[in-house]
Amino acid sequence: MADDLNSKNEPEIQDVAEAAVEAVKEEAAAVEAAEEKVVEKAAEKAAEAPVAATAAVAAASAEAAKKAAKESEAAAKAAKKAEEQAAKDAAKQEAARAKEEEKARIAKEKADAKIEKKRQKRAAQQALIDACPPQYRPVSTSKYFWLAFLSAIPVIGFIVTLFLSIAGRNRNVKNFEKAILAYYIIGFIICLIAIIIVGVALPAEIRSNILLSLEKIIGSVKFN
């Protein structure tokens, strides 16, 4: 009986096995188809990637080139502006230098003209001096100074003044010493008047006190 059951069930078992095999084959075919689709999509993406990368690189290169062109244009403008400013500064410096040179030239010409004028004046004065006779020639300031200093020395100065006012060769020196001699005479007259007033008009007691004071003064300046 068991054999009969087995013989009856064998066709069903074979059908089930065949169906299972068919199902496995179909599933394997579906998996293969899915794999092929995945591979195709991956291949398409891989093919599209270089194109996109190339386009991105090209766009970046174009943007960089545009930026570089702008920077180059800005640098050119800045260089041109700097060159124009340098030219203006150089022109200003040249104008200032020319102005200073002109001022220096004018100042030098004025100084030379002033020196030349003084030289001509001295030459004219010297010509007038040379044209004068020796007894009328001008006397320098230093000579007047030393003549006055010499004439101020006590006793010796009076002698020198008296001699030069009488026997001096130059009329100017002679007149100068005569003026100093006039001071001596005026001083002598004033002293004489003072002595007369002291000797006559003042009382004897005051006169003796003054004379005593004069003696003390003269004694103090007396040379040993």
Burial class (CB in 10 A: 0-12, 13-18, 19+), 164: buried
Averaged pLDDT, groups of 10, the chain, 224 residues long: 51 64 71 70 61 63 80 85 88 90 91 91 84 83 91 89 88 92 92 79 75 78 53
Specify the pTM.
0.41
What φ, ψ does residue 207 adopt, rounded to 5°? -60, -40
pLDDT of residue 8: 52
The pair of three-digit structure tokens given for residue 171, joined into one six-digit string = 């009329």
pLDDT of residue 5: 45
**What is the sign, positive or negative, of the torsion defined by CA atoms of 125, 130, 134, 139?**
positive
CB atoms within 10 A of CB 151: 23
pLDDT of residue 17: 63
